[in-house]
A and B are shown apart, each in its own frame.
Chain A
Amino acid sequence: MLGLNSKDLRLFLIVVVLTIAAPILLNPFPVESSLGQSFNAGYPALLQRFVIFGLLVIGFNILFGLTGYLSFGHAAFLGVGSFAAVWMFKLLSYNIVPAIILSVVVAGLFSVVIGFVALRRSGIYFSILTLAFAQMMYSIAYSDLAGKFFGTVVTNGETGLQVYNDDPQILLGAGDPKVPHLFGLEMNAQSVVNIGGWQFTFQNGYYLSALFMILGFYLSIRIFRSPMGMMLRAIKSNQTRMNYTGLNTKPYMLAAFVISGMYAGLAGGLLAAMDPLTGAERMFWTASGEIVVMSILGGVGTLIGPIVGAGVIKYLENIVSKINDGILHGWFSVFPDWLDNFLVTIIHPFIGKGWHLTLGLLFMAVVIFLPGGLVEGGQRLGKLFRRGKTTEAEEAADATRQRNTPAE
């Protein structure tokens, strides 16, 4: 069905169901409870990030996972996607359709040019070239060099780009919403459902982003299983043999690079559609690094790894970073004071601003013990529970085959 084999179809359907149910599943605690205050992740702003960054890393994985070429400048495409979308809001109207189309197109154009140059080299030199391009674009955006050149505003420098009342918005009708919308369907509109102490929020913006992530996920499965996917894995494995087998690796690489750049552009467009402003910082090299970390954490070259990696990091960034000493004292109040204080002192460095430390430790643990990422961890757990089934052995073999070590 859908051109997928039964195993891929199962995976795809699981992702679809989990994505649809995420606003419920990620709010497991009553809204007023202290656990709910701390750990409920099912609120729209975060849910959007899960799926948009999931989409971004799915695209990144088509490049890095299949070909082993590590781009260290992918946030640049995210950034241009956002800028393109906000410009569509400023010039046309708040309808997200032109914004999203342009964000993909512009990111695609940028990735053709950057890919063409950067792909002249491989390994570390390729990574450095992509990093250099991205930092150049960041600098240009941050000081709005393009705007200065044309005597106008393009990225609006430090302030960032947003929509103002006196913007042209030539297609803006009288009754049109003043927020991003899909033919009137406002992105930030939501319905809140209260069941007992639980509260669930279903937001248009989340479901639209989720739809794009699901489409992107489907496309990535198709690419992984296509002849082209096989060619890309072959490029990673042995370029010499590719050349002497009559295959021109350049266009294959460029295609992979541009596809993943367009995914990033789409993600950037969606970020802008959720919140119609953007700035140069979205292109900063740490943002590119975050994409790499997400992809390695989840499992490079696996289908589901990117979603897992993006989810875990966005969770840590938004949930663990919110926990503070006061909340900890609340949890540990059942213990005697000395134990309470002791525990809080121990945990303190890992929460709040210290979430980077938690992430760092997690990342190290994964790289050392689970080179196949968290997905490999999941597979090992699954094997423990359902030992002896042949399908499991096959899956494990498949995982090993798909696994990448970022050795390039």
Chain B
Amino acid sequence: MGILEVKGVNKRFGGLQALGNVNLSVQENTCHAIIGPNGAGKSTLLNCLVGKLIPDSGSVMFDGQSVLGRKPFEINQMGISRVFQTPEIFGDLTVIENVIIPCFAKRDGAFRMHAFENVSQEKAIIEQAEAILADVNMLEKRNMHAASLSRGDKRRLEMAMCLVQEPRLLLLDEPTAGMARADTNNTIDLLKEIKEKRDITMAIIEHDMHVVFSLADRITVLAQGTPLVEETPENIKGHPKVREAYLGEAQV
């Protein structure tokens, strides 16, 4: 049994079968990559895991519990964090405030009426937030306006916001899309470090094969809403079905 079990998931958008009978099993403490050509349904699948979309049929179990019908914030509280294709951060807040908020969410749950405590008195939370910023090399930027960060820093900040919650499963949707080579390599290093340092399961959607092969323990290839193969990186490179799906799309 994997920590995440997707069984027979279907999702239609009008006449389009975006996901057709998707089965996926993500094992604990591994990095599972989901690849596939544009429009294959990768983002749709991820959205079904985090409560943004509800599948028409099928089941999604996380750690033995169904996530279907739950709201995004409830699913996050179960232990799933998500990094977006374009970083979603609190642009109007400072960097440190951006990481303090997930710390509160982790400690106090989805809602707590803490209107009279003073944030600056929350020593433990602030220490935690500073530690994670140090981990992603952003401590010296702690008082900067998050909106004024570079794109790469925004990505790192978003990862820090997810990691500080110590999620059991981290979902990443094209974390390096649109990045320059150097930034991509930095992100790979960051993710590798995260993988080694923490007990964390990752599911990553990625087009960049360099990223996939650097990180993934297992790879699922999705095409036209259906998984074609699930294999280790070594076995996937020469796989005929994969070549077929990617014909002219990318070098595999």
Interface string of B103-140 (1 = CB under 8 A from A): 01110111111111111101000000000000000000
Interface string of A203-233 (1 = CB under 8 A from B): 0000000000000000000110111111101
Check A241 for interface membership: any CB of B closer than 8 A: yes
How distant is the Cα of A106 from the Cα of B40 in the complex, in angstroms? 55
Check B101 for interface membership: any CB of A closer than 8 A: yes
| Beta-carbon contacts under 8 Å, B11-41 to A | none
Find out whether the CB atom of B76 lies under 8 angstroms from the CB atom of A246. Answer: yes
Q: A228-B115, A231-B104 are in contact. Are A245 and B161 (CB under 8 A)?
A: yes
| Beta-carbon contacts under 8 Å, A147-163 to B | none
Binds A, one of B88-96, B176-184, B194-202, B221-229: B88-96
Q: Which residue of A lies closest to B116 (CB)?
A: A222
Find out whether the CB atom of A227 lies under 8 angstroms from the CB atom of B71. Answer: no
Which of A225, A227, A240, A401 is within 8 Å of B88, CB to CB?
Answer: A240
How distant is the Cα of A245 from the Cα of B80 in the complex, in angstroms? 9
A201 to chain B, nearest CB (A): 36
Find out whether the CB atom of A245 lies under 8 angstroms from the CB atom of B165. Answer: yes
Binds B, one of A128-136, A248-256, A302-310, A315-323: A248-256
Q: A244-B81, A246-B77 are in contact. Are A401 and B122 (CB under 8 A)?
A: no
Find out whether the CB atom of B100 lies under 8 angstroms from the CB atom of A230. Answer: yes
Q: A245-B76, A245-B161, A247-B110 are in contact. Are A225 and B93 (CB under 8 A)?
A: no
Across-interface contacts of B117 in A (CB, < 8 A) = 226-227
Check A336 for interface membership: any CB of B closer than 8 A: no
How distant is the Cα of A259 from the Cα of B115 in the complex, in angstroms? 11
Q: A5-B120, A227-B119, A401-B145 are in contact. Are A247 and B88 (CB under 8 A)?
A: no
Find out whether the CB atom of B76 lies under 8 angstroms from the CB atom of A226. Answer: no
- Interface size on B, as a range, is 35 or more
Find out whether the CB atom of A3 lies under 8 angstroms from the CB atom of B118. Answer: yes
Across-interface contacts of B118 in A (CB, < 8 A) = 3, 222, 225-226
Q: A225-B118, A247-B110 are in contact. Are A238 and B88 (CB under 8 A)?
A: yes
Q: Which residue of A lies closest to B82 (CB)?
A: A244
B99 to chain A, nearest CB (A): 10
Across-interface contacts of B114 in A (CB, < 8 A) = 226-228
Interface string of A252-278 (1 = CB under 8 A from B): 100100010000000000000000000
Check B55 for interface membership: any CB of A closer than 8 A: no
B160 to chain A, nearest CB (A): 12
Q: A245-B76, A245-B165, A255-B115 are in contact. Are A237 and B106 (CB under 8 A)?
A: no
Across-interface contacts of B175 in A (CB, < 8 A) = none
Q: Which residue of B lies closest to A403 (CB)?
A: B92
Q: Which residue of B lies closest to A404 (CB)?
A: B92
Check A234 for interface membership: any CB of B closer than 8 A: yes
Check B50 for interface membership: any CB of A closer than 8 A: yes
Which of B74, B105, B116, B145 is within 8 Å of A245, CB to CB?
Answer: B105
Most buried by B among A3, A247, A248, A252: A247
**A interface, over-half SS:** helix
How distant is the Cα of A229 from the Cα of B115 in the complex, in angstroms? 7
How distant is the Cα of A186 from the Cα of B90 in the complex, in angstroms? 50
Find out whether the CB atom of B73 lies under 8 angstroms from the CB atom of A230. Answer: no
| Beta-carbon contacts under 8 Å, B170-218 to A | none
A404 to chain B, nearest CB (A): 9
Find out whether the CB atom of A247 lies under 8 angstroms from the CB atom of B101. Answer: yes
Across-interface contacts of A252 in B (CB, < 8 A) = 111
Find out whether the CB atom of A227 lies under 8 angstroms from the CB atom of B122. Answer: yes
Check A190 for interface membership: any CB of B closer than 8 A: no
Find out whether the CB atom of B76 lies under 8 angstroms from the CB atom of A244. Answer: yes
Across-interface contacts of B94 in A (CB, < 8 A) = 401
How distant is the Cα of A226 from the Cα of B112 in the complex, in angstroms? 12
Check A243 for interface membership: any CB of B closer than 8 A: yes
Q: A229-B115, A251-B111 are in contact. Are A246 and B90 (CB under 8 A)?
A: no
Which of A227, A237, A247 is within 8 Å of B91, CB to CB?
Answer: A237
Check A383 for interface membership: any CB of B closer than 8 A: no
Check A348 for interface membership: any CB of B closer than 8 A: no
Q: A225-B120, A227-B122 are in contact. Are A247 and B105 (CB under 8 A)?
A: yes
Check A353 for interface membership: any CB of B closer than 8 A: no
Find out whether the CB atom of B105 lies under 8 angstroms from the CB atom of A226. Answer: no
Which of B90, B105, B111 is within 8 Å of A238, CB to CB?
Answer: B90
How distant is the Cα of A245 from the Cα of B50 in the complex, in angstroms? 11
20 contacts between A and B (CB under 8 A): A5-B120, A223-B115, A225-B118, A225-B119, A226-B114, A226-B117, A226-B118, A227-B119, A233-B93, A240-B84, A242-B73, A244-B76, A245-B73, A246-B77, A246-B105, A246-B106, A247-B101, A248-B110, A252-B111, A255-B115
Ranked nearest first, the 6 interchain pairs of A and B with the lowest CB-CB distance are: A246-B76, A248-B110, A237-B92, A237-B90, A246-B105, A243-B72
